[in-house]
Amino acid sequence: MKEELEICVRSLVSFNELYADMIKKGFHEQENFILNDIYLVKDDVEVSLENEKAIFSNYVLIRETVGKRKILVLKHKEVNKNGEITKQESVKCPITDIHKAYDFMKALGYKKLFEISDHNILMSNGKK
């Protein structure tokens, strides 16, 4: 599995205000895309709020970056007692059809948790 770093933040200002502030600070729009995600877990996983850590520590994601690519992603996350992600790894496999991938995962004993369609903007200041 490949270890990765993902940063998500909650903004206390409107999207337009945040976007304008980032542009003023030297950031530019690197990518603008729609993600369609289907989250899956093994059939025997109990789906409940009390089991959230177990659910999101090991799951499969069928991801479509609209107009670009489709992939199957196995995610593994280690979470501490405060609910903070301390380590995150994934294995990715290109696919050609998200519906066939879903049928394949169902046949392997997985069930759908939920689907999300999300508008994403990747911003960069050119620094690593």
Supply the CATH classification number for the domain 13-124: 2.40.320.10
Give the pLDDT of residue 3: 58
Amino acid 10: pLDDT:
81
pLDDT per residue of the chain (128 residues) written in tens, 0 to 9: 655 556 667 889 998 999 999 999 999 998 899 999 999 998 888 777 776 676 677 789 999 999 999 999 988 888 788 877 888 888 999 999 999 999 999 999 999 999 999 998 888 888 76
Q: Are 88 and 21 in contact (CB under 8 A)?
A: no
Non-local CB neighbours of 80 within 8 Å, separated by 6+ positions: 86
pLDDT of residue 78: 82
17 backbone dihedrals φ, ψ, rounded to 5°: -65, -45
User: Domain ranges in the chain?
Assistant: 13-124
